[in-house]
Structure 1
Amino acid sequence: MSSKLTLPLILLSGLIFLAQLSFSTGQTVVKGAYWFPDSGFPASSINSSLFTHLFCAFADLNSANYQVTVSSSNSAPFSSFTQTVQKNNPAVKTLLSIGGGNANPATFAAMASQASRRKSFINSSITLARSYNFHGLDLDWEYPSSTTEMTNLGSLLTEWRAAVANESKASGKTALLLAAAVFRSADYYTINYPFQAISNSLDWINVMAYDFYGPGWSPKNTGPPAALYNSQVSGNAGITSWIQAGLAAKKIVLGLPFYGYAWRLLNANNHGLYAPANGSAIGQYGDQGYNQIRNFISQNGAQTVYNATVVTNYCYSGTTWIGYDDTQSISAKVSYAKVTKGLLGYFAWHVGADNSNWALSQTASSTWG
C-alpha cells in the first residue's frame, strides 16, 4: 500500500470509528425516571436536579391509522413537560414514552407488521416529539411475543433511526434520542429480541428488572419483587443475558422500582422471604409506592429487613408483608450498574412514588456520583 494513501485511510478509519463510538456512547450516563400525570404528582414538583433524563409517559398508538397521539387530558402537561422540568435543571433531557403496560400489545404488533404502518408511527412520533420540545422518544411495547413480532420490531427500530437521522439533517436540529423499555432479559420466554437492530438503532435500552414477584401472580408466597441476585429470576441474570447476547454494557440502563408489593401472610410469625401467603394485603394487586410504604412502616411500627444477599428490602406488621427497594437496595443496585457491569446508568419507575425527601432518587444519584 502506498504511504501516501496510508495516512488518509488511517484517518478515515479513525473518523468512522469515532462516529460509531459517539453514537454508541453519546450519553455519558443516564440517571432517569418516568413520570405520568395519573400518578397525581405534578411535573412541577419533580426535583429534576437529581436526573439527567426524564421520561414523560405515555403517548398512545392509534389502532386505526397507527399514528402516535396524546390524549386531550395529557396534551397540556405533556406539551409543557420539558419547559417545566428544565426550570430546576436546564441540562435535563426529556423523552416522550409511547405505549406502556396498559397499552394493547396487539396494536403495536399490527403497526410493526407493515412498512406503511411503521412509517405512520415513525413520522407521527417525530413530529409529536418536536412539537412538544422533547429531546427523544422511548418505545414501551410490552411485549413482542413471537419471532415474527421480534423481527418486525427490528425493522421498526432500523427505519426509526434512519428517519430520525434524516429529520435531523433536514432540520439542522440535534437528532432525537431513541430508547426502548424492554423485558428483564434478552429473550421474552425464549423468543430473542433483535439484538443487532437494537445495537445499531437505539441509544440505549431500559431493562425492566422488576415485577418478578407480586401477589397478583404469585399469591401463595412472599417474594423479592426486584431481587438483584436470586436462584430463580433476578436483575443480574437479566442484565447478564443482554450482555451475553452481544449488546454493549454502555447501551444498557438498569430499572429500579420506586414501589413494592404487599402480601397477606398466612401466619404473622412466619415473615421471611417466601413465607406462605394468601394474595394481596392491600388492594387488588398489592402495589404500593415507596412513599406509601414508608408511611405504613411509620404508622404501624413495622419491622424492616435488608437482605444483602438477594439485594431486597421487606417489612412486616401483623399479617401484612411488603417487599420493596429501600435506600440500601437502591445503593447496591446503582453500584452494581456502574462498577460491576459498567452500564450506562439506571432509571426508576416512577418519580412520583419517591418520598418527600427524595430518599431513593438522592441515594441513586449520589451513589453513581
Structure 2
Amino acid sequence: MEVSSKVQIFNIRLFLFICMYSSQKLIFISIIASKQRSFLLNLLPCLRKPKPFKYFSFPPSFSLSNSMSLPAKLWLKALTVTVTSSNSAQFSSFTQTVQQKNPSVKTLLSIGGGGNDTIADTFASMASQPSRRKSFIDSSINLARSYNFHGIDLDWEYPDTTTHMTNFGTLLTELRAAVANESQTSGNTELLLAAAVFRSADYYTINYPIESISNSLDWINVMAYDFYGSAWNSSRDRTGPPAALYNATASQVNGDAGITSWVEAGLGADKIALGLPFYGYAWRLLNADEHGLFAPADGPADGPAIRTDGSINYKDIRDFISQNGTQTEYNATVVTNYCYSGTTWIGYDDTQSISAKVSYAKQKGLLGYFSWQVSGDDNDWALSQTASTTWG
C-alpha cells in the first residue's frame, strides 16, 4: 500500500480481551462486549466464580447483535494506534469493571480482524519498514498501559506472501523486545502477547515464522473454523462441516490436521489455543431428501437470522430448531453437528462437538481453547458451560 504525504485514516478493529490466566492452562472465550455494565458483570458463571485458570475475550462493540469494529484509528502516515475520544470512557473502565467479580481477570487489547482487505493491507504496510513497526509497537504498548490492559493480541488475517510472513516474524520479535524493555523501565509486569493465526502452520503453503512465534508470543489462537461456507465459490454447491475436527474425506480440511501441523512445525502444544465457533453456516438444499454432509446445495439459505454470507449464530440455530421441528444430527467421526428442515441445512457445533473438541485440546496438551464468539451462545450459555465443564 502506498503511503502518501497526506494523512490517511483507516478504520481497524480494536478488541478487548479478558482472561483468568496462569502459566499452566488457558481457556479463552471470545464475546461481544456491551456498553451495559450489567452485561459485563453477569457474563458467565465461569467468570463470576473464580477458577484456577480461565481466559475470556471481549471484542467490544455497541450491541450484542453485531461484531463490527469499535471506531479506532490507525493513522497510516504515523502508523500509530489510537482510541477516539467518544470511546475512551469505555476503554478506561473496562478492566476495572470486569475485575469487580474476579480480581484475577486479565485484559488484553487486540488489534486487527478479518473480513476486510484494508486491515490486512494496513498490517502489511506497517510491518514492511522498521520505522513503521516502531511507531505501531510503541503506540500499542502505550495504549495498553494507558487503559490498564495486561497484554496485546495481534489479528493479522493474513500474511499472504513470503515477505509478509518474514515481516510478521520481525514485528513479533521487535514487539517482544519492546515489551521486555518497557517492563524493565517501568517496573510493571511484562504485557502478555498473543496472536490469532490461520488454521495451520502455513497459509496455503506460505509458512508462518515458527521460531519468532515461539520465542515472542505467550500463545497463539488457532482459528480452526470457517472450513466450509455456503456463500463461498469453493463450497456453495455442497453442504459441509464448517469446523470439522477430523476428516470425512481424504482431502477434507479439519482442525486436527491444522493443530498437528503447528506442533510438527516446532511450536509447543502448550502455546496453542484451539478455536471453537459459536455460529454455523446455512445452505439451501437442491433436494430436501438429500440432507447429509456434502449434499448438493445452491448457496446460502434464506432466513431472518441468516446473514448474507450464510452465517448464523448458535442461539439463532437453536431457535430455528425449536420453531421448525428440525431434525438434528451429530457426526462423531467428523465431530460436527447439522440440522435440516425443508431445503434449509445448517452445519454448526452443538454441545456434543464442543465437548469433543475441548476433550481433544486437553488430551493433546494444548494451552486451552477460545471461541468466536460468546455473544452467539444461547441464553443459557449452553456452549460456554459445556466447554468449561468439559475442561474441568
Does TM, normalized by the shorter one, top 0.5?
yes
Query: Which residue of 223, 227, 245 maps to 2:240?
Result: 223
Give the equivalent residue in structure 2 for 1:366: 389
1:9-88 equivalence runs, <5 A: 27-37=23-33, 42-47=39-44, 48-49=47-48, 52-57=54-59, 60-72=73-85, 74-88=87-101
Most deviating of 77-86 and 287-296: 77-86
Measure the CA separation in 2 of the matches of 1:60 and 1:46.
28
Measure the CA separation in 2 of the matches of 1:87 and 1:38.
16
Query: Which residue of 204, 215, 235 maps to 1:200?
Result: 215
User: Is 1:344 aligned to residue 367 of structure 2?
Assistant: yes
1:252-271 equivalence runs, <5 A: 252-271=272-291
Measure the CA separation in 2 of the matches of 1:145 and 1:131.
32
Cα separation, partners in 2 of 1:49 and 1:310, compared to 1, 3 Å: farther
Is the radius of gyration larger for structure 1 or structure 2?
1
Cα separation, partners in 2 of 1:216 and 1:74, compared to 1, 3 Å: farther
What letter is aligned with 1:34?
S
Give the equivalent residue in structure 2 for 1:159: 174
Measure the CA separation in 1 of the matches of 2:87 and 2:313.
22
Q: Secondary structure at the match of 1:55?
A: strand
Q: Secondary structure at the match of 2:340?
A: strand
Measure the CA separation in 2 of the matches of 1:38 and 1:149.
34
More helix by share: 1
Measure the CA separation in 2 of the matches of 1:239 and 1:179.
17
Cα separation, partners in 2 of 1:80 and 1:38, compared to 1, 3 Å: closer
Query: Which residue of 147, 151, 156 maps to 1:141?
Result: 156
- 1:53–1:94 Cα contact (<8 Å) kept: no
What letter is aligned with 2:239?
T
- 2:126–2:133 Cα contact (<8 Å) kept: yes
- 2:278–2:314 Cα contact (<8 Å) kept: yes
Give the equivalent residue in structure 1 for 2:206: 191
Q: Secondary structure at the match of 1:263?
A: strand
What letter is aligned with 2:43?
I
Identity of aligned residues (%): 69
Query: Which residue of 115, 131, 139 maps to 1:124?
Result: 139
- Residue 33 of structure 1 and its aligned partner are, at CA, apart by 1.6
- Residue 72 of structure 1 and its aligned partner are, at CA, apart by 4.8
- Residue 173 of structure 1 and its aligned partner are, at CA, apart by 1.2
Cα separation, partners in 2 of 1:322 and 1:74, compared to 1, 3 Å: farther
- 1:56–1:97 Cα contact (<8 Å) kept: no
How big is each residue's C-alpha offset from its partner over 1:268-300, in whole Å with a ceiling of 9 and x where there is no partner? 111101111111113311111111111111111
- Residue 152 of structure 1 and its aligned partner are, at CA, apart by 0.6
How big is each residue's C-alpha offset from its partner over 1:222-244, in whole Å with a ceiling of 9 and x where there is no partner? 10000000231000000000000
How big is each residue's C-alpha offset from its partner over 1:25-83, in whole Å with a ceiling of 9 and x where there is no partner? 96211111223358999544422247822333366533232112234554333332222
Measure the CA separation in 1 of the matches of 2:58 and 2:110.
6
Cα separation, partners in 2 of 1:73 and 1:239, compared to 1, 3 Å: farther
Most deviating of 40-49 and 309-318: 40-49
- 2:179–2:190 Cα contact (<8 Å) kept: yes
Q: Secondary structure at the match of 2:312?
A: strand
Provide TM-score, normalisation by structure 1: 0.89
How big is each residue's C-alpha offset from its partner over 1:302-341, in whole Å with a ceiling of 9 and x where there is no partner? 11111000000011111111111011000000000111x1
User: Is 1:288 aligned to residue 312 of structure 2?
Assistant: yes
Give the equivalent residue in structure 1 for 2:330: 306
What letter is aligned with 1:80?
S
User: Is 1:93 aligned to residue 89 of structure 2?
Assistant: no
Cα separation, partners in 2 of 1:222 and 1:73, compared to 1, 3 Å: farther
Give the equivalent residue in structure 2 for 1:4: none
User: Is 1:297 aligned to residue 310 of structure 2?
Assistant: no
Measure the CA separation in 2 of the matches of 1:243 and 1:71.
40
Give the equivalent residue in structure 2 for 1:109: 124
- 1:52–1:93 Cα contact (<8 Å) kept: no
Most deviating of 111-120 and 63-72: 63-72
Measure the CA separation in 2 of the matches of 1:163 and 1:44.
33
- 2:361–2:369 Cα contact (<8 Å) kept: yes
Give the equivalent residue in structure 1 for 2:379: 356
User: Paired residues, what number?
Assistant: 344
How big is each residue's C-alpha offset from its partner over 1:168-216, in whole Å with a ceiling of 9 and x where there is no partner? 1111111110000000000000000000000000000000000000112
How big is each residue's C-alpha offset from its partner over 1:155-175, in whole Å with a ceiling of 9 and x where there is no partner? 100010011111111111111
Measure the CA separation in 1 of the matches of 2:378 and 2:150.
27
Measure the CA separation in 2 of the matches of 1:53 and 1:172.
25
What letter is aligned with 1:247?
L
Q: Secondary structure at the match of 1:31?
A: strand
* Shift >6 Å, 4+ stretches: 38-41
What letter is aligned with 2:273?
V
Cα separation, partners in 2 of 1:111 and 1:351, compared to 1, 3 Å: same
Measure the CA separation in 2 of the matches of 1:44 and 1:74.
19
Structure 2: tracts of 5 or more residues without a match: 1-20, 60-68
What letter is aligned with 2:56?
L
What letter is aligned with 1:353?
G
Structure 1: tracts of 5 or more residues without a match: 1-24
